[in-house]
Amino acid sequence: MEESVAARRLNRIMRHLHSFPSTSGSSVIEEQSGGCFEVVPTSASDGIEGQNEEASKPGDRERVILVIGAGDATGGAVAKKFASEGYTACLVRRDASKLEQLAQDITQNGGKAHVFGVDARKEEQVVALVEQIEKDIGDIRVLVFNIGANVNFSILETTSRVYRKVWEMACFAGFLCGREVAKRMVVRGNGTVFFTGATASLRGGSGYAAFAGAKFGLRALAQSMARELGPKGIHVAHLIVDGPIDTQWTRGQVKDSASILERQGMVNPQDIAKLYWYTYQQPKTAWTHELDLRPWIETW
């Protein structure tokens, strides 16, 4: 019996669907360019490419995650997560020597890392940093702006120098880094920019005039960038960490920290990193701009 028109159409559709390549990750062996604290693993996972980006092809340049403010908690954990998924981590702090242990941790686990001593408040340094990475290492697919600047001063004691410095660190530096990376991402038609927010991004607390002013400004920057760059293929997200992050410093500052930790009342940096990775993989049809996370016992 001759096949009906409808049946032929259905068969063509099914053949087309089954021709799509698998999105599952695969292990490859590849040798890449040398650099600071870099190793070539015998087998490295390419991971799952961000849903907002085209899949990498053999011979493509390295996929880079640039972490500004790669400290011992959030920034370091995010860098390690992306490095474990096949991304080259470019780690930035003003004092590059403080990044050596993080870089070693990444390379010892089969990843790649480069460290840079850069003051993100200085325009010429940020411009040179992005240019060097794009020229010598690879394409910056992900930017994570994670500088803290959390200070507590009475408004009566907050000097203009303190207020200006906090704004420069937590807001102005975000503008510089976001702008420079966006210039490259727009040309490629894809990329992801993450800004790390805090409780102060949403409300100003007593003694936090400087910090809240900077974080409010960073949130506004993220919103403006998302609205402008989203239609150009760039995913801009603002992730608010509302609660104490589990670090040695926090444990020394928070009263009854041992009890809080026992109750899982601090944010685990590895859990934050998983959220960044999850957000990075969102498809274009369901991009999130702002997420907030907090421990289950946090009052908000």
Q: Can you tell me the distance from the alpha carbon of 290 to that of 195, in angstroms, rounded to the nearest whole number?
A: 10
Strands 44-45 and 290-293: unpaired
Domain that holds residue 148: 60-240+269-293
234 or 58, greater pLDDT: 234
Average pLDDT over residues 16-34: 32
- Write down the mean pLDDT value for the chain: 83
Name residues whose C-beta falls within 8 Å of residue 211's C-beta, 6 or more positions apart in sequence. Answer: 149, 150, 151, 152, 166, 170, 198, 200
Residue 89's pLDDT is what? 98
Number of domains in the chain: 1
In a domain, 258, yes or no: no
Residue-wise pLDDT tens digits, 226-260: 999 999 999 999 999 988 777 766 766 677 777 77
- Kindly state whether residue 40 falls inside one of the protein's structural domains: no
Place of tokens 């996370």: 293
Flag whether 166 is in a domain.
yes
Segment 84-113 shows an average pLDDT of 97
The C-alpha atoms of residue 291 and residue 269 are separated, in whole angstroms, by: 16
pLDDT at position 128: 98
Residue 193 has pLDDT above 90, yes or no: yes
Please state, for a pLDDT cut of 70, what percent of the chain lies above it: 79
Residue 273: inside a domain: yes
Average the pLDDT over 170-182 and give the result.
Answer: 98
DSSP state of 172: I
| Residue 234 resides in a domain | yes
* 173 pLDDT more than 50: yes
The band of 43, judged by pLDDT with boundaries at 50, 70 and 90, is: very low
Q: Are 182 and 229 in contact (CB under 8 A)?
A: yes
Nearest C-alpha neighbor of 198 from the set 180, 184, 212, 179: 212
Q: Which two tokens stand for residue 10?
A: 């259905």
Q: Name 114's bridge partners.
A: 90
Span 1-27, mean pLDDT? 39
If you write DSSP's letter for every residue of 1-65 in order, what string do you get? Answer: -PPPHHHHHHHHHHHHHHTSPP-S--EE-------TTB---SSEE-----TTSPPP-TTPPEEEE
Residue 27 has pLDDT above 50, yes or no: no
CATH code: domain of residue 90 = 3.40.50.720
252 part of a folded domain: no
- Contact assessment for residue 237 and residue 289, using Cβ atoms and an 8 Å cutoff: yes
Within a domain: 39: no
Residue whose C-alpha is closest to residue 270's, from 99, 109, 79, 49: 79
pLDDT at 11 over 60: no
In a domain, 193, yes or no: yes
